[in-house]
Amino acid sequence: MNPPRIILLILCFAFLISPKSSASAGKIYKWVDERGVIHFSDEEPGTEKAKGDVEEREYKDPDSVKQSKDTIIKETVRNPIEYVTNCTFTIKSPKRIGSGFLISSDGYALTCKHVVEGLANLTALMNDQQEAQLNVLFTSAKYDLALVQVMAVRKMPYLTIRDAAGLAPGDRLFAVGASAGLQSTVTDGVFTGFRTTEAAKGELIQFSAPVNPGNSGGPLVDEKSQVVGVVSLKFLSQQGMPVSGVGFAVPSAQIKEEYSTYTGK
């Protein structure tokens, strides 16, 4: 008997936006040492430190971006999930949408690799409706993750990341993102468990909060606004029947593995 056919929907991809100029502040380097530990630095490593090739990227200094009072994101919120919406942005184009979220006050952010890979001149639409240039710094070779930088104000609200391994079935979770093109949409559900799928490497978080095209790259958070994962994909149908309430997120352990230097800010 053949196993049931499962169709996976990758929620969103990315898009081309007209380029915006900003001053370059320098370069950032990524390399792996002999123990397999990933490093990031603004100084190029010596040959004795790096095992294999050293990746090099230009980065921009957020301090070089002109500020105004209108672009400052207000951090006074009424509940933890409202704070999450202030830290989440839409990655937009005329045809497609995606999401991302801030992990440091100087604009470093996370999204899904399939949202931004291979594209340039991307724009982030913040929750206050201000637009900012979005630079792709690194895409993960192992997971559906990408590290990006939002060129906006000097100090920005950002999310902290917790260990998803502590989740128990039934724990309440929230998915925030541009669901179906509606910015900062919040949906809630519960944690189901960790699953391995053919569409992804490693385990993924399964959760029941409804997600739609546009959610990819947005945060999956607990009731205290702490990130447990990055929304990545969902089941669309099984044996021709629609499936709802079965979403998946890249867990925080994989975020820490790839970008621990930035998640501590």
HSE-CB of 238 using CA atoms within 13 angstroms: 8
Least confident of 64-68, 92-96, 229-233: 64-68
Question: What residues act catalytically?
Answer: 114, 144, 216
Contact 256, 161 (CB under 8 A): yes
Point out which residues pair with 25 in neighbouring strands.
none
Q: What's the pLDDT band for 187 if we cut at 50, 70, 90?
A: very high
In 10 A of CB 38, how many CB atoms? 15
Strand-pairing partners, residue 235, are: 8
> At 246, phi and psi to the nearest 5?
-130, 85
Whole-number percent of the chain with pLDDT over 90: 54
Say if strands 6-10 and 55-60 run parallel, antiparallel, or are unpaired. unpaired
> Encoding tokens for residue 74?
């207000």
Residues 39-58: what's their mean pLDDT?
Answer: 71
Q: What is the pLDDT of residues 1-32, one digit of tens each?
A: 554 444 444 444 433 333 444 444 567 777 77
Whether the pLDDT of residue 243 is over 80: the answer is no
Ordered strands of the 55-60 beta sheet: 38-41, 24-32, 55-60
211 Cβ contact list (under 8 Å, min separation 6) = 11, 175, 177, 179, 187, 231, 234, 247
Question: Do 124 and 156 meet the contact criterion of CB atoms below 8 Å apart?
Answer: no
CB atoms within 10 A of CB 172: 14
What's the pLDDT tens digit per position in 116-157?
988 878 999 999 999 999 999 999 999 999 999 999 766 899
Give every CB contact of residue 240 below 8 A, 6+ residues apart in sequence.
none
**More confident of the two residues 211 and 97:** 211
33: helix, strand or coil: coil
pLDDT score recorded for residue 53? 75
**How many angstroms from the chain centroid is the CA of residue 14?**
13
Mean pLDDT for the stretch of residues 85-103: 88
User: For residue range 196-239, what is the model confidence (pLDDT) as tens digits?
Assistant: 877 667 899 999 999 999 999 999 999 999 999 999 987 554 55
pTM of the model: 0.74
Tokens of 77: 């919120």
Which pLDDT does position 211 carry in this prediction? Answer: 93
Adjacent-strand bridge partners of 110: 101, 147
Q: What are the chain's domains?
A: 6-10+160-256 (2.40.10.10), 24-158 (2.40.10.10)
Beta strands in the chain (DSSP E): 6-10, 24-32, 38-41, 55-60, 88-92, 97-102, 108-111, 122-125, 131-139, 146-151, 172-179, 182-196, 203-207, 219-221, 227-238, 241-242, 247-251
